């Protein structure tokens, strides 16, 4: 089944990322996002008949979609949890489109919001998969930092990738963030030297190559083609989607420098009938700089192993020859839990609606939004278009 053109994104909202949630609870963030997304699209609560959400880390519970639906007073025909870590958001979009295409519903709110205790490490406690408690924790292998550092080191070994090439991703994304009023890190420009002078956390990854966790959230509304025509925004059509996995432990993958991104992107581009070089921008999941490098290779933007020289030579800013993470990416925006994946979807939609303001990519009509969960584990690639 092709989902090409089956549904469109008609509205979005973001909860500004914050390090000081001051007692806020996840449901408040989700409620605000729901109202603002509906308003943005020009719809009312009664127009929404579907809900996809992700259980927030701070309030993990059974029946989470039901809890959200009840608290928002919704009448739903389709509701579920999508739990693919950072790929949850992109995973919601094609699931919503599939449900709409099957005639189950017409207007699906995809919302992720969560409160993360300020700073420090991610203490998932009982949420942590058993494998990590048994085979990672006793050795001080804190994930996902360690896993991505292992990928980065192996990539350097196999392909000669340089630390300054990885750092360039953080630098260009920061240039984009300077034009994003809600990004957490939008004041100081970065240089490659500054990134490499920041503390080594898990060698070869420096502090400024690693996302900073925060509270916040983001949401979009996925609508049928008929519903989308009534929206007050220019609809952004889903024209390609691909999902691929699975592994949790990076050691389970024979070649850790090649990822499931490849399979997910091939599916998405084939469905869309377009090629990577046609993209006006790419919103790539960027929990770490190395994530962006490996993803660009596996999506086909450059040959395998060449992402180091590729990102060093290309201008990745919103005005450049390959606009990438035009909102600053999570590296400069902050990572509001699993909503980190939704900010990439929102930014792709914003650009294609022509609402990028100071960071608008000129003549943007076609772009990628990508989600990544775990340690290059769960992968979803979306191709979006505004006509």
Residues at the site binding another protein, with contacts judged by CB under 8 A? 120-122, 130-131, 133-142, 145-146, 149-154, 157, 199-205, 207, 249-251, 256
β-pairing, 215-224 with 7-18?
Answer: antiparallel
Number of Cβ atoms within 10 Å of the Cβ of 254: 6
**Minimum CB separation from another protein for residue 243, in Å?**
20
Q: Up-side HSE of residue 337: CA atoms within 13 Å toward CB?
A: 28
Q: Quote the least distance from Cβ 143 to another protein, whole Å.
A: 10
Q: Which is nearer to another protein, 221 or 256 (CB)?
A: 256
CB of 207 to another protein, least distance (A): 8
Which lies closer to another protein via its Cβ, residue 38 or residue 256?
256
Q: How far is it, in rounded angstroms, from Cα 141 to Cα 219?
A: 33
Q: Dmax over Cα atoms in the chain, in whole Å?
A: 56
Of the pair 23, 138, the CB lying nearest another protein is at: 138
Least gap, CB of 205 to another protein (angstroms)? 8
Strand order in the sheet with 236-244: 78-81, 50-53, 107-114, 215-224, 7-18, 236-244, 378-385, 366-373, 281-283
Between the alpha carbon of residue 84 and those of residues 92, 253, 341, 377, the distances in Å are 10, 18, 10, 9
Q: Count CB neighbours of 357 within 10 A.
A: 10
In whole angstroms, the minimum distance from the beta carbon of 88 to another protein comes to 22
Q: For residues 63 and 135, which CB has a smaller minimum distance to another protein in the complex?
A: 135
Contact 112, 57 (CB under 8 A): no
Q: Which lies closer to another protein via its Cβ, residue 211 or residue 385? A: 211
């Amino acid at each position: 089944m092709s989902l090409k053109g089956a549904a469109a994104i008609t509205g979005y909202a973001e909860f500004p990322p914050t390090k000081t949630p001051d007692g806020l609870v996840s449901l408040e963030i989700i409620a605000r996002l729901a109202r603002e997304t509906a308003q943005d699209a020009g719809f009312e609560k009664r127009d929404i008949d579907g809900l996809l959400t992700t259980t927030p880390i701070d309030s993990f519970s059974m029946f989470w979609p039901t809890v959200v639906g009840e608290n928002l007073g919704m009448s739903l025909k389709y509701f579920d949890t999508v739990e693919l870590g950072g790929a949850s958001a992109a995973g919601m979009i094609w699931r919503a489109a599939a449900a709409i295409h099957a005639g189950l519903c017409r207007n699906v709110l995809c919302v992720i919001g969560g409160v993360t205790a300020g700073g420090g490490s991610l203490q998932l406690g009982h949420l942590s998969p058993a494998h990590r408690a048994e085979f990672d924790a006793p050795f001080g292998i804190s994930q996902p930092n360690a896993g991505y550092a292992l990928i980065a080191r192996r990539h350097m070994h196999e392909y000669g990738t340089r630390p300054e090439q990885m750092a360039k991703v953080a630098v260009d994304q920061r240039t984009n963030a300077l034009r994003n009023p809600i990004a957490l890190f939008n004041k100081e420009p970065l240089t490659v030297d500054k990134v490499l002078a920041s503390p080594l956390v898990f060698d070869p990854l420096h502090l400024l190559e690693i996302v900073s966790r925060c509270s916040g959230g983001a949401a979009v509304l996925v609508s049928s083609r008929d519903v989308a025509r009534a929206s007050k925004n220019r609809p952004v059509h889903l024209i390609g989607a691909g999902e691929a996995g699975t592994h949790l432990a990076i050691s389970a993958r024979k070649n850790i420098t090649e990822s499931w991104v490849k399979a997910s992107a091939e599916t998405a581009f084939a469905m869309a009938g377009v090629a990577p070089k046609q993209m006006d921008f790419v919103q790539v999941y960027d929990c770490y700089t190395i994530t962006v490098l490996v993803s660009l290779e596996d999506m086909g933007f450059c040959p395998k192993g060449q992402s180091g020289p590729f990102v060093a030579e290309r201008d990745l800013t919103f005005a450049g020859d390959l606009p990438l993470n035009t909102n600053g990416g999570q590296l400069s925006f902050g990572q509001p839990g699993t909503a980190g994946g939704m900010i990439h979807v929102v930014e792709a939609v914003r650009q294609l609606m022509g609402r990028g303001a100071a960071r608008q990519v000129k003549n943007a009509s076609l772009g990628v939004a990508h989600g990544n969960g775990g340690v290059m584990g769960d992968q979803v690639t979306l191709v979006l278009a505004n006509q």
